Amino acid sequence: MVQSFDDFQKVVDSMLIQHQSILDIISKGQEASARVNRSVTKSVTSCGCLTVDAQKNEIPEDATLSDLKYIFHSHLKGTLCPTCRDIIQSELGKQLFYIAALANTLGLSIDDILKREEENLKTLTVYNLR
């Protein structure tokens, strides 16, 4: 059972045989990302469990920076059906696999990366603007 990203990285390291070149890992990671995007798109265009209602977010003149979190939204309506949820989870898992493989190849710890990013987010709070 994977308890942390470090555990996941160890499993990935033991399973990655064919695509050990950094070039393979980067290109497979991009492919995995595209497959995630495609599966989300298909949940809208083929299945219809999600819809997109994209309109300009109107920002009141008196809105503060911290108000933006509640003004902006995802433009998504609906919820993933079980089939789309399963497909997207599977594709995200493959994407995580290649992220772990990339971290392994570069000698990085995803746990350390997450801790560092969490500290950055805590320090910058809403001024991080992502």
For 79-124, how does the pLDDT look when each residue is reduced to its tens digit (9 = 90+)?
A: 999 999 999 999 999 999 999 999 999 999 999 999 998 888 888 7
pLDDT at 121: 82
Q: What is the pLDDT of residues 9-57, one digit of tens each?
A: 999 998 888 778 999 999 999 999 999 999 999 999 999 999 999 988 8
pLDDT at 2: 65
Contact 32, 91 (CB under 8 A): yes
Q: What is d(CA 32, CA 114) in angstroms, rounded to the nearest whole number?
A: 21
Q: List the domains of the chain with CATH numbers.
A: 5-128 (1.10.287.1080)
Q: Is the pLDDT of residue 130 over 80?
A: no
pLDDT at 104: 95
* Neighbour count for residue 50 (Cβ, 10 Å): 19
Mean pLDDT, the chain, whole residue set: 90
What are the contacts of 17-25 at 24+ separation with CB within 8 A?
A: 19/101, 20/105, 22/102, 22/105, 22/106, 25/98, 25/101, 25/102, 25/105
Q: Is the pLDDT of residue 127 over 70?
A: no
Q: How far is CA 76 from the centre of its chain?
A: 16
